[in-house]
Structure 1
Amino acid sequence: MHFTELAKKRCSVRSYADKPLDPQQLQAILEAGRLAPTGKNHQPQRLLVVQSPEGLAKMAKAMHNQNAYTAKAVILVCADTTDCWVRSFDAHCIHEIDASIVTTYMMLAATEQGVGSLWVERFDPEIIREEFALPDHYIPEALLCLGYANPEAVKSPERYDTERKPLEETVWFESFDA
Structure 2
Amino acid sequence: MEFAEVVRRRRMVRRYADAPLDPADVDAVLDAGTRGPSAGFSQGTRLLALVEPPDVAAFWRATTPSGVTGSAWLDGMRTAPVVVVVWADESAYRERYAEPDKARSDQSFAVPWWHVDAGMAALLVLQAAVDRGLGACFFGVPPGRWPALREAYGVPAALVPTGAVSLGHPHPDDAGSGSATRRPRRPRDEVVHHGRWGG
Tell me the TM-score normalised to structure 1 length.
0.85
**Residue in 2 aligned with 1:99?**
118
Looking at structure 1, the residues matched to 20 and 165 of structure 2 have their Cα atoms a distance apart, in angstroms, of: 15
Of 152, 157, 177, the residue aligned with 2:173 is: 152
Percent sequence identity over matched residues? 27
Looking at structure 1, the residues matched to 14 and 76 of structure 2 have their Cα atoms a distance apart, in angstroms, of: 10
Cα distance, 1:122 vs. partner?
A: 4.3
**Residue in 1 aligned with 2:17?**
17
**Residue in 2 aligned with 1:164?**
185
**Residue in 2 aligned with 1:89?**
107
Cα distance, 1:40 vs. partner?
A: 2.0
Cα distance, 1:111 vs. partner?
A: 0.5
SS in 2 for 1:74: strand
| Aligned partner letter, 1:69 | R
**Residue in 2 aligned with 1:3?**
3
| Aligned partner letter, 1:37 | P
Deviations, residues 51-72 of structure 1 (Å, cap 9, x unaligned): 2222222222304535643100
| Aligned partner letter, 2:4 | T
Deviations, residues 133-166 of structure 1 (Å, cap 9, x unaligned): 22121111110100111122145xxx89x83110
Cα distance, 1:130 vs. partner?
A: 2.6
Looking at structure 2, the residues matched to 147 and 175 of structure 1 have their Cα atoms a distance apart, in angstroms, of: 42
After superposition, the CA RMSD in angstroms is 2.4
Is residue 15 of structure 2 the alignment partner of residue 48 of structure 1? no
Unmatched runs of 5 consecutive residues or more in structure 2: 66-73, 98-104
| Aligned partner letter, 1:78 | W
Given that 2:138 and 2:165 are in contact with CA atoms closer than 8 Å, whether structure 1 keeps it comes out as: yes
Runs of 4+ in 1 over 4 A off after TM superposition: none
| Aligned partner letter, 2:3 | F
| Aligned partner letter, 1:137 | A
Looking at structure 1, the residues matched to 76 and 147 of structure 2 have their Cα atoms a distance apart, in angstroms, of: 19
Q: How many residues align?
A: 174
Tell me the TM-score normalised to structure 2 length.
0.77
Of 62, 82, 85, the residue aligned with 1:76 is: 85
Unmatched runs of 5 consecutive residues or more in structure 1: none
